[in-house]
């Protein structure tokens, strides 16, 4: 099961209380105060881990509390500090407040950390308050409570290329052809119900790139039609979009299909409509009317868009598309991840 959103409560450990104590020892009539400080509470720390792929674990556990500090003791003994609680999250997790108003951190780099809830400070023992005019203080401070807050986790997959298009446009077939990903493939809409990632090796000693297969959009997705816009967050980090069009739909013009998806990207926002695109006419082996490909090619040239005609089943045009994508990524500047704990 693919879970890409969760709301959790994180609680830092409370600090231990300071101790109020006096030294009592034979032949030492004026031992004085010797109460130790309380230990500090542990913090809840979120860490981006490549071994975690979804937020599924947070569906069953939503409260995370760090260890509290121990109380101070006599003989100037400081209480033991509480241990930090480390929580692994997938690389690409965005951390916000519950209402998505403030971005707290963007864990886009493996090993990146964010202190979600800080532990409380330990209280001072009465030995801290001794002075020339106050030889026997009885005051000691209680430990401070740890930070307690609710945060929202949103997973945005890290991929170089995002596949978008109407349902049954051939996205799953293409990603299974060019990578080792094996999403479900069937001859009906909405076969893909969750995003899939695949690593593509373009050959010629070029750097491999990651492709994300996004469940299909339909007109009205911004109103919740079909699967809605839920999975579009996973193409926000993509540098390039491959827009797949099914030419076998006799009741829909290919240009109309392109404009439908572009309209949904505009309504979603986040600048997706401004990302570089390559149009891909799929299922070339099943096309009966070549005018469809010609109309799309003419329109693409007018719009200044590159386009390919391929068949993921027979392999026609796929190698050229893979190379073109690699060339395009080489020309595009890489995404610069945010610093730990900072807004992207």
> Per-residue pLDDT for 152 more than 90?
yes
For 187-196, 235-244, 317-326, which range has the lowest pLDDT when averaged over its residues?
A: 187-196
Is there a single domain that holds both residue 264 and residue 125?
Answer: no
With 70 as the cut, is the pLDDT of residue 212 above it?
Answer: yes
Per-residue pLDDT tens digits for 304-332:
888 888 888 888 888 888 998 888 888 87
The Cα-based distances of 304 to 82, 256, 263, 277, 278 in angstroms read: 60, 17, 18, 10, 10
Higher pLDDT, 29 or 199: 199
Count up the domains in the chain and report the number. 2
CATH code assigned at 14: 2.70.210.12
User: Residue 248: is its pLDDT beyond 50?
Assistant: yes
* Residue-number span of the structural domain to which 261 is assigned: 161-331
Average pLDDT of the segment spanning 117-141: 92
Instruction: Name the pTM for this structure.
Output: 0.73
Contact indicator for 212, 157 with CB cutoff of 8 Å? yes
Tell whether 341 is covered by a domain.
Answer: no
| pLDDT tens figures, 73-104 | 999 999 999 999 999 998 889 999 998 889 99
Question: Where residue 188 falls among pLDDT bands split at 50, 70, 90?
Answer: very low
Do residue 20 and residue 101 come from a single domain? yes
Instruction: Mark whether 62 and 167 lie in a shared domain.
Output: no
> Could you give the CA distance from residue 179 to residue 127 in angstroms, rounded to a whole number?
67
Confidence of residue 20 (pLDDT cuts 50, 70, 90): very high
Q: Which two three-digit tokens encode residue 219?
A: 């007109």
User: Which domain-ending residue is among 121, 155, 189?
Assistant: 155
pLDDT score, position 181: 64
Amino acid 268: pLDDT: 76
Q: How far is 98 from 105, CA to CA, in rounded Å?
A: 13
Helix (H) or strand (E) holding 197: strand 196-200
Q: Which of 39-43, 86-90, 209-213 has the lowest mean pLDDT?
A: 209-213
CA distance 246 to 15: 62
3-state secondary structure of 60: coil
pLDDT at residue 272 tops 60 = yes
Q: Which residue's structure tokens are 């995003």?
A: 195
Q: What is the pLDDT of residue 216?
A: 60
pLDDT score of 294: 81
Last residue of a domain, one of 94, 127, 155: 155
């Amino acid at each position: 099961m693919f879970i890409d959103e969760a709301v959790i409560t994180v609680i830092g450990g409370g600090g231990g209380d300071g101790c109020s104590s006096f030294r009592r020892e034979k032949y030492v009539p004026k031992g004085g105060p010797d109460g130790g400080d309380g230990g500090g509470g542990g913090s809840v720390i979120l860490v981006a881990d490549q071994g975690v792929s979804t937020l599924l674990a947070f569906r069953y556990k939503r409260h995370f509390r760090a260890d509290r500090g121990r109380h101070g003791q006599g003989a100037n003994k400081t209480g033991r500090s509480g241990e930090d609680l480390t929580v692994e999250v997938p690389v690409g997790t965005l951390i916000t407040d519950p209402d998505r108003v403030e971005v707290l951190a963007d864990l886009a780099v493996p090993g990146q950390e964010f202190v979600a809830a800080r532990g409380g400070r330990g209280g001072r023992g009465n030995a801290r308050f001794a002075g020339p005019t106050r030889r026997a203080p009885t005051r000691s401070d209680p430990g401070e409570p740890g930070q307690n807050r609710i945060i929202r986790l949103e997973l945005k997959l890290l991929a170089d290329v995002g596949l978008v298009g109407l349902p049954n446009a051939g996205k799953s077939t293409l990603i299974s052809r060019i990578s080792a990903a094996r999403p479900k493939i069937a001859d009906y809409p909405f076969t893909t119900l969750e995003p899939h990632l695949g690593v593509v090796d373009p050959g010629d000693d070029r750097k491999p790139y990651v492709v994300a297969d996004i469940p299909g959009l339909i007109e009205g997705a911004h109103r919740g039609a079909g699967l809605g816009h839920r999975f579009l967050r996973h193409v926000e980090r993509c540098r390039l979009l491959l827009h797949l069009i099914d030419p076998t739909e006799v009741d829909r013009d290919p240009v109309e299909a392109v404009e439908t998806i572009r309209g949904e990207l505009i309504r979603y926002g986040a600048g997706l409509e401004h990302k570089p695109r390559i149009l891909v006419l799929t299922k070339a082996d099943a096309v009966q009317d070549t005018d469809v490909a010609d109309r799309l090619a003419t329109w693409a040239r007018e719009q200044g868009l590159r386009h390919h005609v391929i068949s993921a089943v027979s392999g026609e045009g796929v190698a050229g598309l893979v190379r073109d994508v690699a060339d395009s990524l080489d020309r595009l500047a890489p995404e610069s991840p945010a610093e730990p704990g900072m807004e992207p």
